[in-house]
Amino acid sequence: MAIPASWKQTELSEILLSIIGGGTPSKSIPSYYEGNIPWMSVKDMNKSILQDTVDHISEEAVKNSSTNVIPSGTPIVATRMSLGKIVVANFDSAINQDLKALFPASGVNHEYLIGWYRSISRKVEELGMGTTVKGIRLEVLKSLEFPLPPLGEQKVIADKLDTLLAQVEATKARLERIPEILKTFRQSVLADAVSGKLTEEWRAVNKSDFTKEERLEEIRKYKYETWIEEQEAKYEAKGKWPKTDSWKKKYKEAEIDPEFKSRELPESWVNQPLDGLVYISARIGWKGLKASEYTQSGPLFLSVHSLNYGREVKLSEAFNISPERYDESPEIMLQNDDILLCKDGAGIGKIGIVKNLAEPASINSSLLLIRSGKYFVPEFLYFFLAGPTMQRLVQERMTGSAVPHLFQRDVKEFVLEIPPISEQREIVRRVEELLAFADGIEQKANAALQRVNNLTQSILAKAFRGELTANWRAANPESICGENSAEALLEKIKAEREAFKPVKKSSVRKKS
């Protein structure tokens, strides 16, 4: 790396008075880990400045182990795991064997040293050796090239980095909040969509052709006729028919919670449970199907993994099963616009809609198939199921401590506020427009965040090539020559190193 002519290129070992490591007190003595002395390990290397450590040890632990208590403000680096990380603690802290404390000479600004190490963090990572856990040897660490400017310029660089990187971090923090803000926005859009708020003005202009009472009567008739057809199909399958029509009296209308009935609905909207309005089915067990039976080709076999990629089910994430296995379960043979809802395990509540399906496909036992009927636009039904109301109900209905489970009857009992089909289409159009807007913002935010992340390394690289202080050097020639030169500074550091004598563990002194 090219540096200004007024700087000196040296090695890390040449500007340090000492490097001190640590150790781990015996884990077989619990009392060692019941003290008040902070004990730092790689677990604590997730911040630049530490306010505390995860673990604490006792004075006896320090006395009876190879750990060392390092003064506050001392730069500490990881030499095993977390390579490239450097931290400073605002307190005295013991360290373990995976860390090294760097004690620079008085002619090296601490903040300059810390900034330089961060600028080469990727290089340090690359220098790590080991198959499972990478570490950097002490001699490799010591031999790292260190650009040494005059002391005054070190302070200027440290100050500039403090200002610039603080601005970068503030920008990064704002950008990192955007996904959560957009998540809230999307949920708000869905909540407004399924409550009618999104189409209030549209509804005032586009009056419905039927009243709420007429719609309810039509739905009641549809549910009854659908139930009759289902029962007749069962009798047909058994080849045994009842002698009279008395079985039709067994039909009962689904009851709606009084709380839902009392809600004021938009004009022409009605409250109805899903049962009888949509087709709901799931795989009844696995029918002995094992993962060893998956095939290289054949009908698709979808699991919750296919629901991890946004609104549309990712068909390429499916397994394959034999045609014979596929034919065993006609009740869950998928169609385009089918909605899949995860009803088991950690993924419970995840949802996706099937699009661009051009081959036979089925689902495993963790998924529930929901197929919209004549009263739903598939995308509207999807937005309802993906919205905060349904997701809240999913959480309320979850049962089982080890493996959460959602039963078919739970989903069938969900009550929807159903708009007319024409309004559903308008809702879908508006929701898709708003969600596309949010997606566009998120893409731009992610791209900006990537640029900001690269900006940190770019600023650090420029700092330690002398580019940030070119104007300062031109304006302050007296601060980089003669007694103030980097060459003179390096000689002073060498003299200080020669005069420095190693100290015992109990009397490690703080250098400033």
Say whether both 285 and 409 belong to one domain: yes
Look at the chain and report how many structural domains it folds into: 3
Say whether both 12 and 135 belong to one domain: yes
Instruction: State the residue for tokens 């034919």.
Output: 327
Cα distance between residue 295 and residue 301, in whole Å: 10
- Residue 512 confidence class, pLDDT cut points 50, 70, 90: very low
Answer whether residue 487 is part of any domain: no
DSSP H helices, 246-357, are 258-261, 323-327
- Residue 504 confidence class, pLDDT cut points 50, 70, 90: low
User: What per-residue confidence (pLDDT) applies to 169?
Assistant: 93
Residue 359 pLDDT more than 70? yes
For residue 85, the enclosing domain spans 8-150+495-506
Say whether both 190 and 217 belong to one domain: no
Q: 208 exposed, middle or buried (CB, 10 Å; 0-12, 13-18, 19+)?
A: middle
Q: Are 54 and 41 in contact (CB under 8 A)?
A: yes
Q: 379 exposed, middle or buried (CB, 10 Å; 0-12, 13-18, 19+)?
A: buried
Cα distance between residue 509 and residue 512, in whole Å: 10
What is the distance of C-alpha 209 from the center of its chain?
47
Say whether both 189 and 316 belong to one domain: no
Phi, psi of 200 (to 5 degrees): -60, -50
Proportion of the chain above pLDDT 70, given as a percent:
95
Say whether both 164 and 284 belong to one domain: no
State the CATH number of the domain containing residue 354.
3.90.220.20
- Residue 419 confidence class, pLDDT cut points 50, 70, 90: very high
Say whether both 265 and 306 belong to one domain: yes
The DSSP secondary-structure symbol of 49 reads E
**pLDDT higher at 349 or 141:** 141
User: What per-residue confidence (pLDDT) applies to 412?
Assistant: 86
H or E segment and range at residue 436: helix 421-463
Answer whether residue 511 is part of any domain: no
User: What per-residue confidence (pLDDT) applies to 418?
Assistant: 93
Residue 502 pLDDT more than 70? no
Average pLDDT over residues 5-16: 96
HSE-up of residue 376 (Cα within 13 Å, Cβ side): 26
User: What per-residue confidence (pLDDT) applies to 479?
Assistant: 95
Q: 509 exposed, middle or buried (CB, 10 Å; 0-12, 13-18, 19+)?
A: exposed
Answer whether residue 288 is part of any domain: yes
E strands, 15-57, are 16-21, 37-40, 49-50, 55-57
Q: 486 exposed, middle or buried (CB, 10 Å; 0-12, 13-18, 19+)?
A: buried
Say whether both 451 and 329 belong to one domain: no
User: What per-residue confidence (pLDDT) applies to 392?
Assistant: 79
- Residues 429-452 have pLDDT tens digits of 999 999 999 999 999 999 999 999
User: What per-residue confidence (pLDDT) applies to 361?
Assistant: 97
User: What per-residue confidence (pLDDT) applies to 507?
Assistant: 45
Cα distance between residue 374 and residue 215, in whole Å: 13
User: What per-residue confidence (pLDDT) applies to 133?
Assistant: 87
Say whether both 200 and 170 belong to one domain: yes
Answer whether residue 185 is part of any domain: yes
Residue 509 pLDDT more than 50? no
* Residues facing 104 on adjacent strands: 16
Within 10 angstroms of residue 26's Cβ, the number of other Cβ atoms is 11
Average pLDDT over residues 35-58: 94
Say whether both 160 and 191 belong to one domain: yes
Q: Which two tokens stand for residue 462?
A: 């420029």
- Of 399, 419, 439, which closes a domain? 419
User: What per-residue confidence (pLDDT) applies to 362?
Assistant: 95
Cα distance between residue 59 and residue 133, in whole Å: 30
Say whether both 170 and 292 belong to one domain: no
Answer whether residue 489 is part of any domain: no
CA distances from 67 to 57, 74, 137, 140, 320 (A): 10, 15, 19, 22, 56
Q: Are 395 and 343 in contact (CB under 8 A)?
A: no
Most confident of 95-104, 124-133, 200-209: 95-104
Q: Which two tokens stand for residue 388?
A: 């905060």
Which region among 99-113, 386-400, 407-421 has the lowest average model confidence (pLDDT)?
386-400
Q: Are 70 and 76 in contact (CB under 8 A)?
A: yes
Residues 6+ apart with CB under 8 A from 204: none
Answer whether residue 37 is part of any domain: yes
What value does the mean pLDDT of the chain take?
Answer: 91
- Residues 257-289 have pLDDT tens digits of 777 777 788 989 999 988 889 999 998 765 667
Cα distance between residue 148 and residue 414, in whole Å: 70
CA distances from 406 to 41, 91, 416, 490 (A): 43, 50, 18, 71
Average pLDDT over residues 243-266: 84
Say whether both 180 and 289 belong to one domain: no
Average pLDDT over residues 114-138: 93
Q: Which two tokens stand for residue 397?
A: 């209905």
Q: Which two tokens stand for residue 332?
A: 């869950």
Answer whether residue 244 is part of any domain: no
Answer whether residue 490 is part of any domain: no
- Of 396, 419, 442, which closes a domain? 419
Per-residue b or e along 274-292, where b marks 16 or more CB atoms closer than 10 Å to that residue's CB: bbbbbebbbbeeeeebeee
- Residues 296-314 have pLDDT tens digits of 999 999 999 999 998 999 9
CA 307, 308, 311, 317 torsion-angle sign: negative
What is the distance of C-alpha 282 from the center of its chain?
30
pTM above threshold 0.85: no
* Residues facing 148 on adjacent strands: 8
Say whether both 118 and 234 belong to one domain: no
